[in-house]
Structure formats: C-alpha cells, structure tokens
Structure 1
Amino acid sequence: TSGTTGRPKGALHTHCGFPIKAAQDMLLGFDIRQKDVLYWVTDMGWMMGPWEVLGATLLGATMVLYEGALDFPGPDRLWSLVERHRVSVLGVSPTLIRGLMRHGSAPAEQHDLSTLRILGSTGEPWNPDPWLWFFHTAGRGRLPIINYSGGTETSGGLVTGNVLTPLKPCSFSGAVPGIAADVVDEKGTSIRGQVGELVVREPWIGMTRGFWKDPDRYFQTYWSRFPDVWVHGDWAAVDEDGLWYILGRSDDTIKIAGKRLGPAEVESVLVGHPAVSEAAAIGVPDPIKGEALVCFCVLRPGSQGSEKLREELRGMVAEQMGKPLKPEILKFLEDLPKTRNAKIMRRIIRAAYLNQDPGDLSALENPQSVEAVRRAL
C-alpha cells in the first residue's frame, strides 16, 4: 500500500480476484477495448502498475510503459509520448497535472493529441483549477475525465466516473459496478449532502484476504468500526445530483473549534490562487480551539514567497471557509513530502512541524523535503 498513514501494508490478493477486478473496472468505467492504447502514468510498485498490466492484458488492449521523468528533456515529454504512441486512454494523478500547469498549455499544444478519447485520474482528490486545466488542455473541452478512487486492498476502485452520464469538475458518477458503496455518519447511518465515511456493505471480487502476516492490523483498520461493514478510511459526499466526491483521508481530519474539515478543502482554496502550485494543510494542537490550521504552499515558477502573498493566502481561506479557519501559520516550501505515487504525506509534515518521530519513511520519495519543512519553521 502507499504508506501515507504509516508503515506500508502488504495486501494479500488471489490470482483470480485482482486481475478480474482490474479488467472489470477498465471495461465498465473507462470503456477500454482491444483497439485502445492505455498509458497510465504510475509507479510499478503502486497498485496502479499491476492494475494497468493485468487489466489491459485481459481486455486485449495495448499498454505503454515509460521509465523516466515526464519533464525531461522538455516539459512536453508526456504529450510527445501520447502523440508518438497514439495513446487513446491517458491516466494521471492530480499532482502530475499541477506540476505540468507550471509550464502552461504551450507544451501540449505542440503535439497532436487527437487520438485521446478518455482521460483518467486517481491517487488523490482534485482541486477545480487543475481539473479544468486538464479538461481543456488534454481533453479539448470535450473528453470525459474518469475519476477513479479505491486502493491496493480493494484491487481497484470503489467509486468511478463513466462515459455515459454528465460529470461536474472533480466528481465521480457513483459506485463502481459490483461495489455496494455508501457514505455514513459516525453511527453508520447512510447520509447524503453531508461529508461522511466511505464504506462498503457487501463483499466484492478482488477484496484483499488480509494484511501479510498482520491479521490484527487488518481487522483494526477496516472492520472495527461497524459490524460487517468495510470502512475504507476516506471522507466522501454525495450531492443533490447523485454525484460523489472523495475529500481525503479520514485520518487526516482537522478539527478546529468543533468544526471538522478535510485538508483537501483548505488545499483547494490555496491552489486556486494563481501563484500556488501545490498545498498541504495540517492540524496542530491548540489550547483554545483544540487544533490550529497550519499550511504549506509550493509556488509556481516566477512567484515569490512574500509576506504580502502569505497574508493574501491566509485571507482567502478565511473569506471562503470562515474566519475561525484562517491558518495560524502559512509557510512556503520548494517541495512537499510525497510517496512514490505522488501522494502528499501529511503525517510526515505534521511530525516535522511538531518535531516528532515521523515513523516509517520507506514510502517517502523525496527525503530531503522533511528537513526543508523543519528549516521553514
């Protein structure tokens, strides 16, 4: 598993479950067929690597595997791969798109992307601005972005988009076919129009048989909250149109003066500023409010981390989310600690901020970023 919440876990799968689940999701969610060329930008050590290989192989599609940076020798590397290999289905992470946005749309406009018919995304919640940039730059304002979220333990997705129904930015159409997903409150009652826990109420093909040599941790992680209900560990919501949203890990929850919020809500506001490329939000102990909000921002090339910009960003959060949620501290960094599959490791940022032991770092892609957090304080 990714290791964003602690030591990476070995998820045990069967030779039938994982491949069938991967192929099923590709076919029903992404409409992948034998004629398609699939390129999902991923690390082969992340579950999306085997997912791509097994799913595409079973469906008879062609896959593209590329080893190396996507901004070398130039910022158009991804788009040149799409053109050269006539990719029809392109999968990315929101973090990758935020990085490509720094270079503008010109690198993509240099290449023929007409073979693309489906765009995909997984790994973390979107912010509206990167989603719309990807939609207009790669999708030319007409291709669907199939949002896909699940995990290593589930052999793929729990919620997905599809090519048949309308979508809003950052949304999912609903549960993956074959998944009895639901959103529940702290008592396990189904809710709509509110943020709750993502759960699954029935078994599905591809569910893990447990954690490798650690059955107690497996039970505690997924089965200890509600009887016979899988609790996935993500915040989710369903809106008035029936569209679903994933709002981040429930163990990243920030509680300020009795209000519970996910870091993605704050990060979305910050990334909406034209100077900000990436952001991370954490909660730290506060004697009055329980927790205080601390934010870290990576700026776009050409932007300077001035005191004026710092106050402008703090004010944006207060204006859009309420004065009690105004960040107590906002720092500028060159990079954020991430896993190899580009997920922000907020637990490590929080540990560095509090000068605590960060725990297992085996999933960390850029160890130098931890010291950078400490130096920024």
Structure 2
Amino acid sequence: MNTTLSSFEAYAQQYKNSVDNPEEFWNTVASDFVWRKKWDKVLEWDFNKPEVKWFVGGKLNITENCIDRHLAQRADQTAIIWEPNDPKDEAKHITYRVLHEQVCKVGNMLKANGVKKGDRVCIYMPMIPELAYAVLACARIGAVHSVVFAGFSSGSLVDRIQDAGCSVVLTSDGSYRGDKKIDLKHIVDEAVEKCPTIKKTIVFEKLKISVNMKPGRDLWWHDEIAKVSADCPVEEMDAEDMLFILYTSGSTGKPKGMVHTCGGYMVYINYTFKTAFQYKDGQVYWCTADLGWITGHSYILYGPLSAGGTTVIFEGIPSWPDMGRFWQAIERHKVNIFYTAPTAIRSLEKAPLSFVEKYDLSSLKVLGTVGEPINEEAWHWYNKNIGKENCPIIDTWWQTETGGFMISPIANVTKLKPAHATLPLPGVQPAVMDENGKELSENGVEGRLTVKFPWPSMARTIYGDHQRFRDTYFSTFPGKYFTGDGCKRDEEGYYRITGRVDDIIIVSGHNMGTAEVESAIDEHHDVCETAVVGYPHDIKGQGIYAFVITYNKPENEEKLRAEIRDTVSKIIGPIAKPDKIQFVSGLPKTRSGKIMRRILRKVAEGDTTNLGDITTLLDPAVVEEIKAGAL
C-alpha cells in the first residue's frame, strides 16, 4: 500500500476506497508484511457481542516485522537512539543488528526463567534501552507484556499484576527523574509481597544502589543475560493472539486492562505511522512519551520499527537541567519528526524564548501532538517558535482502546486548522450522535463521537471482563463504538474534540478515572466522602478538583491538603494528586443519592452563576456553601 500521499485528492481517493471496500483496502495494506501463513479471511465482526477478528487464520510474529526483516538491508542502520536523563552523558545508537541480538538474549533469559507463550510479564522500568528489549522480547517468545508506567505507586502495580496474573516482573534498581533518584525496586518489593502469582523478579542494575534481593525470587539481569545465547527463533502467533495488556483508568475505581492482538495491531500502527507523518526512509523520529502509555507502545516502538525507522527513546524530562532540554536534543540528533503532548508545549511556552533560540531546529520537518486536544494559543506558539511556520502540526486524536491514530491531519496533505484533529484517516468511519442516539450526518454539528465500523488495531476486550468491555464501549450507542468523547464537526467536516463526556479526567494527556482518585482520597482517615471533577488547567489541560467532606472540621486545612495529596500519591502515583482540594460540609445530591457533578464542574471552572435547576437536590443550600468556598 502506498502510504506516501502526494495531494489531498490522493487522500480523498484512498479514504473513499477504504470506506467503500474496507476488507479489500486492509487486505492490500497487510500484504506488505512478513506472514508465516496468510489469513483465510480479512474480517469477522459483530459490534453487538462485541466481537472483532482481523486477518483470521493468519500467522506471524510482530518482532520478525519490526526487526528480522530489516536485517538484510539495514542491519547497521540505527534503530533506536537512546537519549539519557543527563545531557552530559553520551547517547546510545542501537543498530537493528544490535537490537536483534539484545531482544533475542532477553527472550532467552525469560524462557530460562520459566516464561512461555501466553504467560503475562509485568514490566516496570525506566526509559532505558532494556525496557524496549523487554517489550520486544515478550512479543518474540509469545508472552503477553503488561508495561506499567514507572511513576505509578506499589498499590497501582499490585492491581495490575493481580488482574493480569503476571508470573514475572522485570524492573531496575532505580530510575532518574531529572535530578531525583527513584527507588523502583523498593516499590516492586512492596507490590510483589501481595502478588502470589509472581515467581521471579529480574532486576536491571541502573543506579547501582543498594537494594534488597530476596533469594530464590530476585535475580540480577546481568547475571541472567550472561547465561544465554543470542539465538532466539520467533514464536509463531495467530493474528488474534494477545500481544499485550495495557491498563487505562476506568470510571469505576478498577483500572481496565485493554487487550491488543498481534496481527491487526501491527498492520494498523505501521500504516498510520507512515501515513500521518508521511515518514520517509532515513528520517529521525522522536516521540517524547513514556513506553508505559499506549503512545509509547504504538509510536515509539512498534510503529517506527515496523517501518524500518530510527526512533528516539528519551529518559529525561522536558524541564531538566533547564527548559531547553527538548530543543537541545533535537539539535543533537537532528530530529526530523517531533511528537509531544500539549501539556509539555504549554509548560515550555511559559519559559523565556531564549531557551529555544539558542538551538538549531532546522532539521525539523513535521511536528505532532498527542494525549489531549491542543488549545489554539499553544498551537500557534508551537507552529511559530518550534516549526518556524514551516512544519505541519499533526494533531492526533486516538485512545488506548483504539491502539492507533483515528482522526489526524496528514503531513503536507491536509489543510490545517488550529486545535482541530481535522479528518479521519483511511479506514476510520466516525459518526457523531446526539444524546438520543440519532446519528447527525450533516456538517456543522456537535455531539458524541462514535465509530461505526471496526479498524484493525482496536482493543478486543478488557482482560478477564468482556461484559465490562461491552457495557463501557458498545452499550450507549448499540452497533457503534462509543469513545466517551464529545466533538464538533464543522462545516468543512473537520473534527474538533471537546473533551470527555464521562467520569474521566485527562491530566497531562493521561486518563484518570474520577472514581479511582475519589477512592484514594477516601483512604485518608479524616475523610468521610469525596467528589472529584476536572477543571481547565493552564499547563496540564485538565486539573483535578476535589470536594472533600471530613469527619471533623479541619484544624489546619493546608496540612490536611498535603496529607491527602500524599495519600493519593502513595496509592495511585504523583500524577493523580488533586490540584485543588475544597473542604465542604455536603455534596449536591439528588434525592436518590446521585452526586450532581455538573454543578461541581461549573464551580471548579469558576462559573457559579449558571448552575441550572438545583430545586431537585436533596439540600439546595449546600450549593451556596460550595460556591462561597470555591478555590
């Protein structure tokens, strides 16, 4: 399939073909890969069950397509550039040949420690090359990887290990975050004590700090890797075998383990990576995300490597040692495509322009954004100061559940509109619905965003809970996948995502379920009840605003706020700490006991004059108190 589109007309034709004959379209795309056995049928689907299968009967291994098939032509080409936390340290250039060797060794290390096809492996590691090797090694031997972002707490780690029934944890002694050191092994130790399914913990020595190693369970990575060879044949996988489980916050407290499978995911991630960015052979591509999120899975590893690309893995943070860190790395590696989050852009926008101006950004050809809608002000700053008004901004809309880009401009093809994700990619059939379940087929409408036809990389289920998968995504609008997002489609047919319509807050591009945060706050011994909502935040996009009822009137509100934030940090991780905590004597509830979150959202947003009808509340007076104490 030709992913190089020369004009908007070429996109429109490819899009039309993909909608008129989707199976023929994806059949052609999939034919570009190495398959051990070709599929018998392109697609089987029923959104009512829901059940979706792509490339039915096809056999493959994704690492053969990400690594092995490139060895004949590009064994000595750089596959991964590792940019360390400290810019004074030397970057590593890892060729496809070395990547192959290291992935094979880690695969053999896992097998030597009892891991076999279908076993779940938890990976809780910093952004170092060994994290990439671990992910790809699992895929190579047919184990299912469950990567957990190394900023999550031991409690969050326990939830994910227990839910997936992992048998092995891969971790490191510690990690850096700017100038801080984090003792990852201690966090893992706390978690593993509560996880009887864990047989082995394999520890990479990163910081060379003293850690507790439990005999019989804990092993050093360097000892284990020294025992194995670099000869690790790929495991033949069915197209619908599980590739990975990745957890995302749900509207209940329990995180959802989204299941992605081998064949369709590979085909779609490769196609969307090459199409949206119009990736050209030899370009250096940098996505600043962490591998613990879907962005890292799809567009740091599997997408770029399956395309034979050069991808940057970044250990650091954008603000250390100073606010020029991103721009320095772009100059250092002559990055051509730069893909980051609006949160990062907004924080860097507030720094003096001198941090940008001292670096040569002339290598840049394409910019991108991910994780949340980008506001117009940040879009214009990014366009002017980083892209020098010469680089298209690829504002991608997609989700953990979708696996890959759904609505996105195509570089140098789609006419851009600030803060708009623009148009669906070929193969994606969105529909805007009103609240009554009627499809709004005309332009110039606003409603709820759904998708009415399957695409290859969509999640197949929630691990161990297919009923929850059905209830969450396919029950609101029967026969359609409901994204949980609202959107506007303008007169040109361009989509603008307006944010979540359910109980999810998007903090710095990452989903936080309100129930999960409320549950963590309620763990504090002084807290009686909590309601959490999102509100507009200058840097993060959305901040977390908590309305908290305590058993007794707090003697020292600031001290209690600090304790509550600390509690949330310990239970979920620092990313979930509430930005604002307002102590209240009651919450606006209906007579049936339902919290009226729309009222709390309005207060959190600073709009206390337009709260709508409050006469149906059990105690309307509580609203006045909440308004008066708004932060």
Query: 1:72 is matched with which residue?
Result: 320
Output the CA distance in 2 between the equivalents of 1:16 and 1:65: 25
1:173 aligned to 400, 412, 422, which one? Answer: 422
Output the CA distance in 1 between the equivalents of 2:348 and 2:256: 31
Q: Which amino acid is 2:425 matched to?
A: V
Q: CA deviation at 1:372?
A: 5.1
The answer to whether structure 1 residue 111 and structure 2 residue 359 are counterparts is yes
CA contact (8 A) 2:331 2:359 kept: yes
Alignment CA distance shift 1:167-1:371 (3 Å): closer
Output the CA distance in 2 between the equivalents of 1:294 and 1:66: 29
The answer to whether structure 1 residue 184 and structure 2 residue 433 are counterparts is yes
CA contact (8 A) 1:162 1:173 kept: no
Question: Secondary structure of 1:57's partner?
Answer: helix
Output the CA distance in 2 between the equivalents of 1:363 and 1:41: 22
Q: Which has the higher contact order (CA 8 A, sep 6+)?
A: 1
Q: CA deviation at 1:137?
A: 0.9
The answer to whether structure 1 residue 130 and structure 2 residue 338 are counterparts is no
Query: 2:256 is matched with which residue?
Result: 9
Alignment CA distance shift 1:235-1:33 (3 Å): same
Deviations 1:217-237 (A, max 9, x none): 111111102221111111111
Alignment CA distance shift 1:25-1:108 (3 Å): same
Larger Rg: 2
Q: CA deviation at 1:344?
A: 3.8
Output the CA distance in 1 between the equivalents of 2:424 and 2:450: 11
Output the CA distance in 2 between the equivalents of 1:30 and 1:363: 34
Alignment CA distance shift 1:90-1:181 (3 Å): same
Deviations 1:108-134 (A, max 9, x none): 111111111010111011111111100
Output the CA distance in 1 between the equivalents of 2:401 and 2:317: 28
TM-score after normalising by structure 1? 0.71
Q: CA deviation at 1:241?
A: 1.8
Structure 1: tracts of 5 or more residues without a match: 254-262, 265-281, 283-292, 299-335, 337-341
Q: CA deviation at 1:168?
A: 1.1
Query: 1:29 is matched with which residue?
Result: 276
Q: Which amino acid is 2:470 matched to?
A: F
Alignment CA distance shift 1:21-1:364 (3 Å): farther
Output the CA distance in 1 between the equivalents of 2:549 and 2:349: 33
Output the CA distance in 2 between the equivalents of 1:110 and 1:2: 39
Output the CA distance in 2 between the equivalents of 1:2 and 1:109: 38
Output the CA distance in 2 between the equivalents of 1:203 and 1:156: 13
Q: CA deviation at 1:216?
A: 1.6
The answer to whether structure 1 residue 51 and structure 2 residue 298 are counterparts is yes
Counterparts of 1:140-289 in structure 2, within 5 Å, are: 140-163=388-411, 164-186=413-435, 187-191=437-441, 192-251=443-502
CA contact (8 A) 1:33 1:59 kept: no
The answer to whether structure 1 residue 120 and structure 2 residue 368 are counterparts is yes
With 50-59 and 192-201 compared, the bigger mean Cα shift is at 192-201
Output the CA distance in 1 between the equivalents of 2:452 and 2:568: 31
Alignment CA distance shift 1:366-1:295 (3 Å): closer
Alignment CA distance shift 1:371-1:204 (3 Å): closer
Aligned residues: 294
Output the CA distance in 2 between the equivalents of 1:4 and 1:45: 17
CA contact (8 A) 2:248 2:257 kept: no
Query: 2:578 is matched with which residue?
Result: 370
Q: CA deviation at 1:193?
A: 1.5
Alignment CA distance shift 1:203-1:363 (3 Å): farther
Question: Secondary structure of 2:273's partner?
Answer: helix
Deviations 1:18-56 (A, max 9, x none): 222211111111111321111111111100111120000
Q: Which amino acid is 1:3 matched to?
A: S
Query: 1:92 is matched with which residue?
Result: 340
CA RMSD for the aligned pairs?
A: 2.9
Q: CA deviation at 1:294?
A: 9.1
Q: CA deviation at 1:64?
A: 0.5
Question: Secondary structure of 1:149's partner?
Answer: coil
